[in-house]
Structure 1
């Protein structure tokens, strides 16, 4: 269904740009027999419910006006914030997260673990450095970005 995502991205980008919002993600998925078109948006300081509603209405109008309909099946349109523990997918997401506490999962175990949480200290095209802490100390750990299955912001307790 990447053509649906591509079409929606083409439609929503100008709406977001005009309002100084950022596109975090788009997904078109089937869950429990129903299709969902989810558009996650953000801006520095966070997105409001009214801003989500405005983007939803504009996007819905544009989708309804297209002929032929780019999404032939019935679906639910959801426009929302990516949330406090938002996924880090794009390069911009990672750059924005420098200095933030994040959670990463690896494809393979490293030192017996596949999950790490720490402060994102540095980022290059091929590596990511987290400041981790164990019982007694803080230390930096470098990860090859190709080994990271997924990453997201995390809440530090």
Structure 2
């Protein structure tokens, strides 16, 4: 399958599954269609406020499978469907990504080339407020070239200190 045809198929799949998943309060974050021998692998990443549970993934898998079975978007070629959560390694590109990661540590590369690391304190539709070395700093999304959540293995959550 040519790259352009594969992109068009991916876009059609995303268009078909977005609304049924939105009804389930799930956002489609990514759709990837890759060849795997005589099959294709269709990966759909989902997210929602509060995070995705295993039940959400199972429900979304059933719904996506139903939608695709009722559609001709994938034709007759066999495929393997994988529905997953968004994953921490995906860049923060939309306001909802910043909102859903409040209190997480992020590393952002700004458009002008500077890198900053800070904890998300709050976010709006056009900017984020980060705690950078104890100081609040407002950054417009338009000024961010790339941002990734940083994995923290030993950080105590706010409520952990109360439980101790």
Structure-1-length-normalised TM-score: 0.67
Equivalent of 2:62, from 57, 60, 64? 57
Pairs aligned (count): 147
Closer/same/farther in 2, CA of residues 45 and 94 from structure 1, 3 Å limit: closer
- Counterpart of 1:118 in structure 2 is 118
Structure-2-length-normalised TM-score: 0.65
Closer/same/farther in 2, CA of residues 14 and 141 from structure 1, 3 Å limit: closer
Map of 1:65-80 to 2, 5 A cutoff?
Answer: 65-67=70-72, 69-70=73-74, 75-80=79-84
CA distance in 2: counterparts of 1:153 and 1:129, whole angstroms: 15
More strand by share: 1
Q: SS of the counterpart of 1:8?
A: helix
Q: What are structure 1's unaligned runs of at least 5 residues?
A: none
- Counterpart of 1:82 in structure 2 is 86
- Counterpart of 2:97 in structure 1 is 93
User: Could you tell me how far 1:102 is from its partner in structure 2?
Assistant: 2.0
CA distance in 1: counterparts of 2:101 and 2:94, whole angstroms: 11
User: Could you tell me how far 1:31 is from its partner in structure 2?
Assistant: 7.3
Please give the root-mean-square deviation of Cα atoms over the aligned residues, in Å.
3.3
Q: SS of the counterpart of 1:46?
A: coil
Q: SS of the counterpart of 1:53?
A: helix
Q: What are structure 2's unaligned runs of at least 5 residues?
A: 1-5, 156-164
User: Could you tell me how far 1:55 is from its partner in structure 2?
Assistant: 1.4
CA distance in 2: counterparts of 1:128 and 1:82, whole angstroms: 20
CA distance in 2: counterparts of 1:24 and 1:59, whole angstroms: 11
